[in-house]
């Protein structure tokens, strides 16, 4: 539908009256990247992004009138088409086959262009000019926000610690587990255990610096 910069497209979608933005997921790490970017912009506008574990719209009761955007991950063509017809604001992650078939009809994000989007986001949105950080985030897309936050807190002494690669693998595995639990069989006990495990690991990692 649009050939403009994908980060700009995401920003415009958040504040627009459009119902859908379609994202070619590629893999879980890329999905986490784009969901994080969407949440980044939504937070500025006081909008809550809800990760659903279903293929149907979830009714949200909010006494304070908080605006919400629901995020879905669907590859079933029939269910996907039905969901896209519902007039409510939503983010829809899908496979490349469905993306290719539908991207001309909706605002769409091609996950295979994630490196360009990381480059634009870091340089133009966060105003960071650091090639080491940029390359690291391209190699570890799901850690974009944790790594850029580290840089913004102490840019003068920023250095990519090689040991963080091992930390990244551990934290990313935990986050992927959380992502999968939310997307598939929502087991509240497993979700709690994984969130607790990530929090404990990050606390221990912080104490080692």
Write the pLDDT tens digit of every residue in 101-117: 999 999 999 999 999 99
Whole-model pTM: value is 0.73
- Compute the Cα dihedral for 135, 139, 144, 148 and give only its sign: negative
* pLDDT reading at 206 higher than 50: no
- Sorted by where each begins, the domain ranges of the chain are 6-115, 131-207
* pLDDT reading at 135 higher than 80: yes
pLDDT of residue 180: 64
Give the CATH architecture of domain 6-115. 3-Layer(aba) Sandwich (3.40)
- Compute the Cα dihedral for 135, 136, 140, 142 and give only its sign: negative
Half-sphere exposure of 120 (CA within 13 A, CB side): 14
pLDDT of residue 158: 76
CA 82 to CA 64: how far, in whole Å?
29
Residues pairing with 75 in the sheet: none
Q: Work out the percent of the chain whose per-residue pLDDT is above 90.
A: 44
Residue 182 sits at φ, ψ, to 5 deg, of -65, -40
């Amino acid at each position: 539908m649009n050939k403009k910069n994908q980060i700009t497209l995401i920003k415009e979608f958040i504040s627009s009256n459009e119902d859908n933005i379609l994202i070619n997921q590629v893999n879980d790490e890329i999905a986490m990247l784009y969901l994080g970017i969407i949440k980044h912009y939504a937070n500025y506008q006081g909008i809550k992004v809800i990760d659903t574990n279903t293929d149907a719209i979830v009714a949200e009761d909010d006494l304070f009138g908080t605006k919400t955007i629901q995020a879905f991950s669907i590859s079933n063509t029939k269910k996907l088409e039905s969901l896209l017809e519902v007039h409510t604001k939503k983010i829809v992650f899908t496979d490349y086959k469905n993306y290719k078939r539908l991207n001309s009809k909706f605002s769409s994000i091609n996950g295979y262009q994630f490196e360009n989007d990381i480059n634009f986001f870091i340089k133009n949105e966060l105003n960071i000019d650091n090639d080491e950080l940029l390359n690291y985030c391209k190699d570890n897309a799901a850690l974009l926000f944790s790594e850029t936050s580290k840089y913004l807190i102490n840019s003068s002494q920023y250095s990519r610690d090689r040991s963080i690669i091992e930390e990244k693998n551990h934290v990313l595995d935990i986050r992927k587990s959380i992502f999968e639990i939310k997307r598939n069989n929502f087991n509240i006990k497993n979700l709690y255990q994984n969130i607790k495990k990530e929090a404990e690991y990050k606390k221990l990692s912080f104490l080692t610096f």
